[in-house]
Amino acid sequence: MILSDLNTTMKEIFHRAGARGSGLVFAVLDTGVKPIGPLVGKVTGSTKDTDGHGTFVAGQLIEWCPDATIHSYRVLPDGTGRTEDIIWALHEVLLLQRIDRSKRYIVNMSLSGNYSPRAAIVDEYRQALEALAEIGVPVFVAAGNDGKEAISKYPSCFESPITVSAVDNAAKQADFSTFHNEVDFAEWGVDVPGLSINVGTSRKSGTSFACPNVAGKAGLLLSAYHNSTGQQLPEPELYEMLKHSALDLGIAGKDKFYGWGWLDIRKAEITMKKLDQFIAYLEEQVRNHSIYVWGAQGETAPKITAEWIRSKEKSSAYAKKACTYWLAQVVAGYGDVLRAFDCSGLGMYWMQNVMGLYTKDMSANSMMGKCTKIERAQLQRGDWVFRVYASDKRDSSGKLTAKKGDAYHIGYVVDDALNVIEAKGREDGVVKRKLSASGSSYWNAYGRPEIFVQEVGGSSTVLRITSPLMRSSDIQSLQIALNGMGYPCGTADGICGNNTLDGVRAFCKAHEGV
């Protein structure tokens, strides 16, 4: 498990689905934030940073939520500061959130300090943090870098903020990370890349740099929830969503080293439909002028070269066509963003590598096997279309290589106008075009994929079966749905016979009490 790769995948999933942090304001209590690189135009408050720590942290947050803004508090001017200034900053965030409910504030505190638990200022500190939690402002804090159990490390040992410890890129506990019973989550914090105030990028290690990775993930969940519902996700529900998306790394349950574990927000229960994400991904490949290469599975630059294409293709003629098309896209400025796919690879890259919905690669024919067969007239957004052999295929020796009805090409219906996105061929790359663009016989088989069956078809319909053998298009839709979910109804013919009733009974039994 490589956390950096998985984090990159998570960002891509949410960004494609339109969750990019619009309306979020990260209040960064740190050394200040210098508006450089992706931070240009996004920083309010203190823009002076002579240390670089705050700029690095803010850059991580904007990488997760590129449409968010940063409000910078320079509470650690030279890497150290006064607790009174931190408390003042927390009170101002509280005021700003109360004044403007159109924005959602998130506090990132990649800082820590030691106090006597009896010190008067500790109570002020705690009360300021609790006041933010009460109005729904999530606060993320670094556990500290003592490398030992520390019960007087503030603010991480308070109950109300969300405390983040550090692990390396393989999810192993970092030897410098402070631990105690208030640790909530563990995140990549060893040799993390980020913005440098001097030149380009640099790498840093510490719980300071694990913290914004968790705050950024929370920002994406808040953004996705708001996009889907038009409402703000309350802070307690956000915490529960984070907790239930955590991958347990230590002893079972919450522990003092990893908390609830490392966050895989792909698992979060949020109304961001898989189908919407899949179609957004396909549209991105069209915009990026992705190319067709035999056997390709989403490779990008710098792997894509003329030599690599020739090594993948079946003949020099095919390789020449693929290389010519690829070079034209590079000249047009798409070389750094395009990917390489074959027809099944276009879909499988997302399903296998991005979402983990399938563990093994599949051909177009195998993908057809993951669908309930439908008629052309039933096609909707989210369905898959195929080209299948009209007769058996044999090689020069007479050996059977493909059977009649086997699929050898696949496309994906992406809208209600029945436009299809496909990795069409070496001279065309990934294209979006009408279902009948190459004639009504180009696509000659149709399927409703099992992974989207509950999302295809729009609003729900209540069916009351009044007699055996009743027939309707709604019954047919029910049969397609049940077959796709593993409750066999026989042929989806729209006739409610015994097979259909058996499928309904099996579904009801499996969902009894739900």
Per-residue pLDDT reduced to its tens digit, 158-209: 999 999 999 999 999 999 999 999 999 999 999 999 999 987 789 999 999 9
Measured CA to CA, the distance from residue 354 to residue 349 in angstroms comes to: 7
pLDDT in tens, 221-233: 999 888 877 778 8
Calculate ∠ Cα 47-52-53, nearest 5°: 105
Burial of 317: CB neighbours in 10 Å, binned 0-12, 13-18, 19+: exposed
pLDDT at 354: 80
Which residue, chain included where needed, has tokens 């099992």?
450
Residue 404 phi, psi dihedral angles, 5° rounding = -55, 130
Contact 24, 46 (CB under 8 A): no
DSSP result, 147-195: SSB-TTEETTTSSSSEEEEEE-TTSPBPTT--B-TTEEEEEE-SSEEEE
Residue 474 phi, psi dihedral angles, 5° rounding = -65, -40
What are 64's two structure tokens?
Answer: 């997760």
Measured CA to CA, the distance from residue 72 to residue 190 in angstroms comes to: 24
Measured CA to CA, the distance from residue 338 to residue 353 in angstroms comes to: 17
pLDDT at 138: 97
Measured CA to CA, the distance from residue 270 to residue 285 in angstroms comes to: 25
Whole-prediction pTM value? 0.60
Sequence-distant (≥ 6) Cβ neighbours of residue 36 within 8 angstroms = 55, 195, 197
Contact 420, 347 (CB under 8 A): no
Contact 191, 183 (CB under 8 A): no
What is the number of helices (H) and of strands (E) in the chain?
Answer: 13, 24
Calculate ∠ Cα 334-336-341, nearest 5°: 80
Residue 315: what residue type?
S
What are 487's two structure tokens?
Answer: 């409750």
Which residue, chain included where needed, has tokens 């309904």?
504
Calculate ∠ Cα 27-192-196, nearest 5°: 65
pLDDT tens string for the chain (514 positions)? Answer: 899 999 999 999 899 888 999 999 999 999 999 999 999 999 999 999 999 999 999 999 999 999 999 999 999 998 899 999 999 999 999 999 999 988 999 999 999 988 776 778 899 999 999 999 999 999 999 999 999 998 888 999 999 999 999 999 999 999 999 999 999 999 999 999 999 998 778 999 999 999 999 999 999 999 988 887 777 888 888 998 899 899 999 888 899 999 999 999 987 755 456 788 788 889 999 999 999 999 999 999 999 999 999 999 989 999 999 999 999 999 999 999 999 999 999 999 999 888 778 889 999 999 999 999 999 999 999 999 999 999 999 988 889 988 999 999 999 999 989 999 999 999 999 999 999 999 999 999 999 998 887 777 543 444 544 455 666 656 776 777 777 667 888 887 778 888 888 888 888 777 664 4
Query: How distant is the alpha carbon of residue 369 from its chain centre?
Result: 26
pLDDT at 464: 47
Helix 498-510 × helix 473-484 angle, to 10°: 50
262-263 and 246-247: which strand pairing?
A: antiparallel
Measured CA to CA, the distance from residue 489 to residue 511 in angstroms comes to: 17
pLDDT at 457: 55
pLDDT at 269: 54
Burial of 12: CB neighbours in 10 Å, binned 0-12, 13-18, 19+: middle
Contact 153, 109 (CB under 8 A): no
How far are the Cα atoms of 48, 49, 58, 214 from residue 36, in angstroms, in the given order? 11, 11, 10, 22
Report the candidate in 375, 452, 438 with the shortest Cα–Cα distance to residue 409: 438
Sequence-distant (≥ 6) Cβ neighbours of residue 336 within 8 angstroms = 301
